[in-house]
Structure formats: C-alpha cells, structure tokens
Chains A and B, each alone.
Chain A
Amino acid sequence: AQSVTQLGSHVSVSEGALVLLRCNYSSSVPPYLFWYVQYPNQGLQLLLKYTTGATLVKGINGFEAEFKKSETSFHLTKPSAHMSDAAEYFCAVRRASGGSYIPTFGRGTSLIVHP
C-alpha cells in the first residue's frame, strides 16, 4: 500500500531562516507525490506536485521539493521563512483505485514562524 510519513508534527523557525519539512513515502510503484498547505479555517491548497520528469519541483510561495528515489523522500523546503508561511503542511501520495488516483495524506506538520 502506498503511504507517506511526515517526520515532526511541529517545526519552529525564525523569520528568514530555512524551512525544511520532511516527508518519506512508501510505494512499490513510481509514486505521484504532493504537498498541500492548510491555513486556519480554510481548506487544503496544492503547493506543488511531482508526477514525472524533473525531480526538483517548484511550487507557489517560494516552496520547492525534491523527489529522491534512493532515499524515498520528498522533503519540502523554502530558503527564507516568512510570517505568512505559518500553517499546516501535508504530504500526500496518490494511490491507484479502480481507474482513479486517490490522495493519501500524512499526519501534517505545523510550521511555526517566530519574528
């Protein structure tokens, strides 16, 4: 079964510091991987995705992630944190189900940004 594991339920950084949110996947087939962000009282929004092709993918708001097959990882990074990045971040993998692909999410990581 395809799944993702997010390491760390909370990550705290100072404004301007590097953001690193970790995600490892488990999949017997090439995975389709995603990062979503959820701001308070809102739904999830897609940040970026990896399906095929370039392993370094860029998303919105300056985030990027690198697919590393050898490490089964898809960590999310941003060079310089901004206060507005404070939110919860979810890694997801899409698993095949009857011709469709169902997103399966991790537990989420809360990003806290200090002034």
Chain B
Amino acid sequence: EAGVTQFPSHSVIEKGQTVTLRCDPISGHDNLYWYRRVMGKEIKFLLHFVKESKQDESGMPNNRFLAERTGGTYSTLKVQPAELEDSGVYFCASSQGGSYNSPLHFGNGTRLTVT
C-alpha cells in the first residue's frame, strides 16, 4: 500500500507570504495528525482529525494556521501570513484507529523555511 505522502518536500517563502502544505494519508485511515518540529526541539503536536472533523486542535499556535480535511481524505495546512518562527519541518501521520495501540504511519515531512 502507498504510505503517507506530503507535498511539497521543501518550501522556501518570504515572511508575509502564504504557504499550503498537503498530506495524503494511507487510504482508509480515519485519523490524521499534524506535527511540527522546530530545529533542535521536540516534535510538537498541532492537531488531530477524525475523518473530516477536528478532534483536537490544542496545539495550533495561532489563527495564522488553518487546517482542513474536506471529505475526510487528504488534509491541507495553510499558514497565512507566514512568520520567521514558522520555519521547521511539518510532519503528517495517519492511523486507522485512534487507540493507544493504533500504529501511526508518518510522511517524510515538509521542510518550511521562512526568510
């Protein structure tokens, strides 16, 4: 089966611009997670979808970040307007269930650089 895919793999934008990251989960996986890692720091949780619903968005840093998952398939994460501190690697993961035993499958990440 195809794994979790993320587009683009790299993005370099200027402060104030808009960027949209995309995640295609494994087919049939209802749970989709977004994480971000700023260099040298922990991988920080952003939000969790179950199908098209936002189950937990407690990690979203502010209202410049907007995540969607229309139709419960792929998800997008838009940053508008981007700030320097938004630079980092954005990971997406999916799982079939949401239990403690449900394995997460990660994408390779999108490296975002804001200059």
Q: Which residues of A line the B interface, CB within 8 A? A: 9, 32, 41-46, 49, 51, 90, 94, 97-108
Contacts and interface: CB of A to CB of B under 8 A. Distances in A.
A99 to B, nearest CB: 7
B45 A98 contact: no
A43 B31 contact: no
Contact of B100 (A94, A104, A105): A94
Nearest to B5: A43
Contacts, number: 64
B48 interface: yes
Contact of A99 (B41, B98, B106, B107): B98
Most chain B CB neighbours (cut-off 10 Å) among A46, A105, A107: A105
Nearest to A90: B43
Interface in B1-51: 3-4, 31, 33, 35, 40-45, 48, 50
A105 B104 CA distance: 13
B99 interface: yes
Given A90-B43, A102-B33, A106-B42, A46 B108 contact: no
B74 interface: no
B113 to A, nearest CB: 15
Interface string B50-68: 1000011010000000000
B108 A107 contact: no
Interface string B71-105: 00000000000000000000101000011111111
Contacts of B106: 43-45
A103 B45 contact: yes
Given A43-B106, A44-B91, A100 B42 contact: no
